[in-house]
Amino acid sequence: MDSAPSTPGKFKMEKGSYFHRSRWHTSLAKFTFWSFVFLGIMFIFFFRTPSIPSPSSLPAADPSRRSLRTYNNGGVAWEKRVRSSARIRSPNGVSVLVTGAAGFVGTHVSAALKRRGDGVLGLDNFNNYYDPSLKRARQALLERTGVFIVEGDINDVELVKKLFEIVTFTHVMHLAAQAGVRYAMENPGSYVHSNIAGFVNLLEVCKSINPQPAIVWASSSSVYGLNTKVPFSERDRTDQPASLYAATKKAGEEIAHTYNHIYGLSLTGLRFFTVYGPWGRPDMAYFFFTRDILKGKSIPIFEAANHGTVARDFTYIDDIVRGCLGALDTAEKSTGSGGKKTGPAQLRVFNLGNTSPVPVSELVNILERLLKVKAERNIMKLPRNGDVQFTHANISYAQTEFGYKPKTDLQSGLKKFVQWYINYYSDGKKADQ
């Protein structure tokens, strides 16, 4: 570098040969010196004993980037609990790994499977997308029924492999996901981490298991996006997502098709339509409307352009559970062996809704009557954050395949939810998270 011209132009050799040999030796000495300095710094950086930071100096945990090594899994006692929870207790029972078991739908599905004698093992990372204490309460509820939830992440491939080594699962009910439409604008990475990477990791493990399990997994009605044809049918286009959440769920459906085609995995996707009920999610409108009405706070009521009505196909949790079990019971065996497809495998997608869209304003009317409190309504324009004006499910395919037929209207379902809500939060639990 010493002999390089400081400005662009033609390089001229103007000094004698001895001078240049001296300059060359000087340059070599400098290069050697700085090389040793650099290597010394690298040695110190990589091989020094790291200091242990105090907990207060560490950044807050991002639920989408939770360490896969922070869970205390393993050991004889732990494996015994895993086997006991997954043990089949009925003559025609199946053994099911339920991911997202501490979630709203996961808890209800796990309990229903256990009640009928199936073997059930849960898996959940208990992230803090919403109040983790509610998830812990669901966990306690399931433990009383004999369902053990392994605390771990679906992105932890070694953990998922370990569970399949301990238990020969016949089915996987994959309900773990990053939910919520609006939160995607705050933390988009969490959706890719859970809904895409997590799903792929799970399928990667399942494709190599022998025998391969049949997989039922949660898609979403959000995949219909900007579709204006109603009611929504499984045959309708789903290539216009209105949110990142919807896009990741649509990506999941395409990924499922790929693993079915290449590896022979039996895959059934379920497009849930606005699920509600006891033990629900605090980020859902019916839940935080109830909370804010009781607290005397105003609630946002969205309306579409030109004062258009915003409506949802609200579906009660018990109806969704029956749909999940129907899909699982009619799922055919996977056809792969040792990671290779040996024949055509089943691939299905079903709508699970109520087929009776209700305006959000009517939802509030019902809550007012049940709570005996007048709501303070704040009418607002529907924001461009991923929300759509309406949802409406065509459920004829699910009716044909496994007799799916919702039984609970919104009035009856909200009555059960309100009873649960008041009982749950009357014990001093916080309802403002």
CB 123 within 8 A of CB 56: no
Place of tokens 């890719």: 192
Q: Which listed residue (191, 224, 245, 286) is catalytic?
A: 245
176, 103 in Cβ contact below 8 A?
Answer: yes
Say which residues have a Cβ less than 8 Å from residue 326's Cβ, sequence separation at least 6.
398, 401, 402, 403, 404
Specify whether the CB–CB gap between 117 and 88 falls below 8 A. Answer: yes
User: In 303-430, where does DSSP find H-type helix?
Assistant: 317-329, 360-371, 396-402, 410-425
Helices (H), 243-316: 244-263, 285-295
Number of other CB atoms surrounding residue 284 within 10 Å = 18
Q: How far apart are CA 291 and CA 425, in angstroms?
A: 10
**Cβ-based neighbours of 97, under 8 Å, separated by 6 or more:** 86, 121, 123, 163, 164, 167, 169, 171, 172, 173, 213
Active site residue 245: yes
User: Using an 8 Å Cβ cutoff, are 71 and 151 in contact?
Assistant: yes
Report the SS3 class of residue 269: strand
Tell me how far CA of residue 179 lies from CA of 193, 238, 354, in angstroms.
12, 18, 20
Active site residues per annotation: 245
